[in-house]
A and B are shown apart, each in its own frame.
Chain A
Amino acid sequence: MKVHVDPERCQGHTLCSMIAPALFTLSDEDGHSTAIDGEVPADQESKADEAIRSCPEQAISVIP
């Protein structure tokens, strides 16, 4: 699986990177999030799931 952050929805709440720092990078300038490009490593899948459930803006989606 891959994850994607919709930049139109993300408002920089930072929960995703708090939960899964290996998967989400926050911009230095405004704290908005970008997901890693490649496949989510198997041992990070539950963290990815938790980040998706925790994003207050529901900005993160799974790309199958």
Chain B
Amino acid sequence: MTTQPVADDDAERKKNRYHFDRHTPDYREKFTDVTAQMLDKCPIAWSDTYGGHWVAAGHSEVFELARSAGHLSNDHDPQHERRGYKGISIPSPDVAFRGGFLEMDPPEQRHYRQLLNPYLSPAAVARWTPLVDEIVRASLNEKIETGRIDFVDDLANIVPAVLTLGMLGIPLKNWDIYVEPIHASVYTSPNSPDIARIQTSRLAMRDDMAAQLAEIRANPRPGLIDALARAEINGSVPPDFELLGIIALLMGGGFDTTTALTARSLEWLSEHPARREQLSAQRGALLDSATEEFLRYFTPAPGDGRTISADCVLAGQEFKEGERVWLSWAMSNRDPAVFPNPNEVDLARTGNRHHSFGLGIHRCIGSNVARMVFKRMVTAVLDRMPDYVCDPAGAEHYQTIGIIQGMKHLPATFTPGPRIGDGLDETIARMQVLVDEEELAAPVTARKGPAVAG
């Protein structure tokens, strides 16, 4: 039997090929080399992994694609009510629900963003700074006399979680119900045997979220959940599973990303003590640019998937409807065409157009939260543990960097110092009173000005 060669215009379209698998430990280890190769040879490439998908690595290519919402869809449609698109994860997880407005297209997506922006704008977030400082101070208090801390477990996991719950309108003391499942579900690869156990703990967490939603509906208290509970989107009330998807998105976005950025940055500063001293001494001039540079260099959320929604040519590449695309913020952040010496950390870098919060209409809605919390945690560590040294033997990076480029543990030692004020549990209890009395979680349109932390 002879086989006719199939006339395949795909071969031409997909002539730039790269075997790209970001869920392997190998990719983490070879990230710099893989990135340099792709940027140099194939800033957009076809990869045969995960059912076949495009990978965009070049800065200008990612820029153009991410801002072409008319041709790239975020929609996740597991029930096949529309076109069956698979959302922002590659491979797409086996779930029945989409992940909030990050897996929606306009106009629906825009309605949710407009609803939630007044809780997350720079002015809204600034109101929470005094509370964040209190939680940071108290977290450090728990360890300051011992001379030992795990920056992940004892600081960077706690503060973003407590703040996120506060903004949602969930009792602050519940933070530890949520931290572990969210943390574990991001550092466990979809191929891991552990994934079933984590799915179970995520379901348990969803039960608690559902209880919070019902409670806030029955006894309204301000916060993001209250806004969602009252929402009318496109003229109708969204079903609860949709709202729970959004709450899960806000938690997933609020927790582990800032944790990852903080851990990676603190580890780097420990390895570069002279730069750490410089940052501490010149923080007025350097803290903003250093934060953007750590965001660029460590890119906590390394990318997003999309689906091509209409045949098109973008960034010089021909795409067909239904094809999947991975937009790599992490690789585009190393493009030498935009960032001189891209693999160096330059705390004073200018023109830092990094992609770490994404681009276009889906720009990370929590970017203002992330920056604020990161800066408060890092400066407090510089003040109270200025000589800390991370223990390389105990530092544990996520095995893979497919979802979040984070760390499981980052132990460090430092010269012990005195406690300042009360401990974590007492502080969280006091902050709950502050949140309730000052209605801190109300939208900025209803309540302005920072909290007055006593």
A40 at the interface (CB under 8 A from B): no
Given A29-B445, A31-B368, residue A56 in contact with residue B121 (CB < 8 A): no
B123 at the interface (CB under 8 A from A): yes
Which B367-385 residues have a C-beta within 8 angstroms of A? 367-368
Complex partner residue of A50 from B67, B351, B359, CB under 8 angstroms: B351
- Cross-chain pairs A/B with CB under 8 angstroms, 24 sampled: A11-B359, A11-B360, A12-B121, A12-B363, A13-B357, A14-B367, A15-B352, A28-B124, A29-B117, A29-B118, A29-B121, A29-B123, A29-B444, A30-B114, A30-B121, A31-B122, A50-B350, A53-B351, A54-B350, A54-B352, A54-B353, A56-B357, A57-B67, A57-B359
- Which chain B positions have C-beta within 8 A of A31? 117, 121-123, 368
Q: With the chains together, A50 CA to B289 CA distance in Å? A: 12
Q: With the chains together, A12 CA to B118 CA distance in Å? A: 12
B292 at the interface (CB under 8 A from A): yes
- Which chain A positions have C-beta within 8 A of B121? 12, 26-31
Which A39-64 residues have a C-beta within 8 angstroms of B? 50, 53-58
A36 at the interface (CB under 8 A from B): no
Closest 8 CB pairs between A and B?
A53-B351, A30-B117, A28-B123, A11-B363, A31-B121, A31-B122, A56-B353, A29-B118
- The interface of chain A, by Cβ under 8 A from chain B, is 11-15, 17-19, 26-31, 50, 53-58
Bits for B344-364, please: 1 = Cβ < 8 Å to A, else 0. 000000111111010111010
DSSP majority for the A interface? loop
Q: With the chains together, A51 CA to B357 CA distance in Å? A: 17
- Which chain A positions have C-beta within 8 A of B13? none
- Which chain A positions have C-beta within 8 A of B357? 13, 56
Tell me, rounded to whole Å, the shortest Cβ–Cβ distance linking A49 to chain B: 9
- Which chain A positions have C-beta within 8 A of B360? 11, 57
B288 at the interface (CB under 8 A from A): yes
Bits for B293-326, please: 1 = Cβ < 8 Å to A, else 0. 0000000000000000000000000000000000
Assess whether B367 is in contact with A13, with CB atoms less than 8 Å apart: yes
Assess whether B368 is in contact with A14, with CB atoms less than 8 Å apart: yes
Assess whether A18 is in contact with B288, with CB atoms less than 8 Å apart: yes
Q: With the chains together, A33 CA to B354 CA distance in Å? A: 18
A29-B123, A50-B351, A58-B63 given; 11 more Cβ-contact pairs under 8 Å: A12-B121, A13-B357, A14-B367, A14-B368, A15-B352, A28-B124, A28-B445, A29-B117, A30-B118, A31-B123, A53-B350
Assess whether B292 is in contact with A15, with CB atoms less than 8 Å apart: yes
Tell me, rounded to whole Å, the shortest Cβ–Cβ distance linking B328 to chain A: 15
Tell me, rounded to whole Å, the shortest Cβ–Cβ distance linking B125 to chain A: 9
Which has the most chain B C-beta neighbours within 10 Å: A15, A31, A58?
A: A31
Assess whether B118 is in contact with A53, with CB atoms less than 8 Å apart: no
Q: With the chains together, A38 CA to B361 CA distance in Å? A: 29
Q: With the chains together, A17 CA to B448 CA distance in Å? A: 19
Assess whether A54 is in contact with B368, with CB atoms less than 8 Å apart: no
Tell me, rounded to whole Å, the shortest Cβ–Cβ distance linking A55 to chain B: 7
Tell me, rounded to whole Å, the shortest Cβ–Cβ distance linking B67 to chain A: 7
- Which chain B positions have C-beta within 8 A of A53? 350-351, 353
Assess whether A55 is in contact with B353, with CB atoms less than 8 Å apart: yes
- Which chain B positions have C-beta within 8 A of A26? 121-123
Q: With the chains together, A56 CA to B362 CA distance in Å? A: 13
Assess whether A28 is in contact with B353, with CB atoms less than 8 Å apart: no
CB closest residue in chain A, given B360: A11
Q: With the chains together, A18 CA to B284 CA distance in Å? A: 12
- Which chain B positions have C-beta within 8 A of A55? 353
CB closest residue in chain A, given B125: A31
CB closest residue in chain B, given A53: B351
Q: With the chains together, A27 CA to B123 CA distance in Å? A: 8
Q: With the chains together, A28 CA to B444 CA distance in Å? A: 7
- Which chain A positions have C-beta within 8 A of B63? 58
- Which chain B positions have C-beta within 8 A of A11? 359-361, 363
